[in-house]
Amino acid sequence: MPLMKTGGIVIKTVNTGESDKIITILSGEHGKLQASARASRRPKSRLFAGTQFLCYSDFVLYKGRSLATINSCEPTETFYEIRNDIVRLTYASYMVDLILDSIQEEQPSEKILKLFLNTLHILAKTDKTPELVCRIFELRFLAELGFAPAADFCGVCGRDLEGEYSFSFKNECVLCSECTSCENGDSRILPGTLKALRHILYSKPDNLFRFELDPKVLNELGKVCDRFLREKLEKDYKKLQFLKTLE
């Protein structure tokens, strides 16, 4: 069997047998990749650390017909802070669900991987509001998949967005006041929400997380992201509802 080397983050683990597990890796070059990690659940196993959930490792694998087998792995980032905080872990697990449902095997995913790693770094290493971090990931993730809504000008008439404006889920864009129609379910949005949308969609990766929002704008951004994501991915994700039980 040919050897394959790749870096990637573990986004799913399934226990098998007495001490084995099958892991799913998100790799920039190979997209989703499933691999068998034999005896990796034994604490003294050389695969134990590098095959934990949300651990980024450098893997050496034997590429089989249907399932790869891990020969060795060297962990480079464990995101320990996330795995030991229930709120951060819930947000990270939700983001993993989006990735698992959207990325295919052998689908080059370099931008998605970098976005996810940057998001986890902000979630783990800073005090930025986890909900805002998640909203930024959601919208930028959809944009990387090709579902970016138009927010730089009115998506119908092309005018500059001044005065009042709304988000159109039907047209997948922001509309000026003249093109807004309540009958089509267009939702009025605040200037701060439009500014946040533009920043998330158009900023360079290094600047993506460099802003804050007041609670009112964050709440409105969350409603826009929830509905837009639900309609684009055609699934209603429930994992974040668990956080309400912690309030």
**Per residue in 19-45, pLDDT tens?**
999 999 999 999 999 999 999 999 999
The alpha helices in the chain, defined as continuous H runs, are 80-83, 86-102, 110-125, 130-144, 191-202, 215-233
Residue 1 pLDDT exceeds 90? no
Q: What is the pLDDT of residue 2?
A: 83
The residue ranges of every structural domain in the chain are 3-78, 83-246
pLDDT in tens, 146-205: 999 999 999 999 989 988 899 999 999 999 988 987 656 778 999 999 999 999 999 999
Q: What is the pLDDT of residue 139?
A: 97
pLDDT at 246 over 80: no
The domain over range 83-246 is classified in CATH as 1.20.1440.120: yes
- The pLDDT value recorded for residue 186 is 78
Average pLDDT over residues 133-144: 98
Q: Does 3-78 carry CATH code 2.40.50.140?
A: yes
**pLDDT score for 235:** 94
Q: Do the strands 20-27 and 31-37 form a parallel or antiparallel pair, or are they unpaired? A: antiparallel
Q: What is the mean pLDDT of residues 82-108?
A: 95
At residue 123, the pLDDT reads 97
Provide, rounded to the nearest whole percent, the portion of the chain with pLDDT above 70: 98
Q: Residue 201 phi/psi, 5° resolution?
A: -80, -35
CA distance 44 to 40: 8
Can you give 187-227 as a three-state secondary structure string?
A: EECCHHHHHHHHHHHHCCHHHCCCCCCCHHHHHHHHHHHHH
Pull the structure tokens for residue 200: 């998330």
